[in-house]
Amino acid sequence: MSEPPSAADWEQALAQLENDLMALKTRYHQVQTAQKTRAELQPRHTQVREHLRRHKNREAQAELQQLQRQLAELEVTLESQLLTWSSFKQPFWQAVRFGGLGFVLGVALHHWLS
C-alpha cells in the first residue's frame, strides 16, 4: 500500500497549483487584450479597405498591410489560447500507450488464432 502524501508533497502540489493559476490568469489577460485590440482594428481595417477600393494610394495600401499583419498576429495569439502542448500531452501519451498495447494484443491474437 502507498503512504499518504507528506506535508512537503502537499506544499509542492499547492505551489504548482499557484503557478498554474498565475499562468492561467496571465494568459486570460493576454487573450482579453488581444480580443479588445482585434475589435478595435477590425472596423479600421474595413474602412481602409473600402477607401483603397475607391482611391488607390500608397498610404492606404501601407496602412492596410500593417492592419492585416496586426490582425494576423492577433489571430495567432487567440488561436493558441487553447492549443498548447500541455493540453495534449496526457491524452497523446495515453493514446500511444493504449494504441500500442491494442496493436500488440491484436498481433498476438492473430498469430495465436492462425
Q: 64-99 b/e with 16+ CB inside 10 Å = b?
A: beebeeebeebeebeeeeeeeeeeeeeeeeeeeeee
- Single pTM value for the model: 0.53
Give the pLDDT of the chain (114 residues) as one tens digit per residue. Answer: 567 778 888 888 888 889 888 888 888 888 888 889 889 989 988 888 888 888 888 888 888 889 889 888 888 877 765 555 565 667 777 777 778 878 888 888 888 887
